[in-house]
Amino acid sequence: MEVSTQSEGKPPARDVWKASQSGKFATLPTGWTRFCRIFLPYQIWRFAMINLKMLRIIWKGHH
């Protein structure tokens, strides 16, 4: 099994060429997507929205 090289402490960079070699084509997030995932103001907003979505589903299960 091949192992991708990673630099210490950083997310490993799995290169697309290697992925295609093992027949595993995968969609990778862009830098912007990864930034948004931990960007505080946006995540505070997402926190509220996800909670609402979850409450909606719980409410639906009870009625």
Partner 1 sequence: MARVVILGAGVSGHTAASFARRWLGPEHSVTVVSPKPTYNWIPSNIWVGIGLMPERKVVFDLAPIYAKAGIEFHQAAAVSIHPEGRAEDRSPFVTIESTEAATKGKTQDLRYDYLINATGPKLKFEATPGLGPHGGHSLSVCTESHATEAAKALDVCTERMRRGERQRFLIGTGHGSCTCQGAAFEYAVNLEFELRKRKVRDKAEIVWISNEYELGDFGMGGLHLKRGGYVTPSKIFTESLFAERGLEWITRAHVQEVQPGRAFYETLDGGQHQIDFDFAMLLPPFSGVPLKAFDRAGEDISDRLFAKNGFMKVDADYSGKPFEKWKASDWPRTYQSPAFDNVYAVGIAFAPPHAISQPRTSARGTSISPTPPRTGQPSAMIGKVVAGTIVDRIQGKSVAPRAASMAEMGAACVASAGANPFTGTAASMVVYPIVPDFERFPQTGRDTNLTYGEIGLAGHWIKILLHHMFLHKAKLRPGWQLVPE
Residues between 2 and 61 that touch partner 1 (CB under 8 A): 2-14, 19, 22, 24, 26-29, 34, 36-38, 40, 43-44, 46-47, 50-51, 53-58, 60-61
> At closest approach, how far in Å is the CB of 38 from partner 1?
5
Is 51 buried (19+), middle (13-18) or exposed (0-12) by CB count in 10 A?
A: exposed
Q: How far apart are CA 63 and CA 61, in angstroms?
A: 6
Question: CA nearest 13: which of 29, 36, 35?
Answer: 29
The residues binding partner 1 (CB under 8 A) are 1-14, 19, 22, 24, 26-29, 34, 36-38, 40, 43-44, 46-47, 50-51, 53-58, 60-62
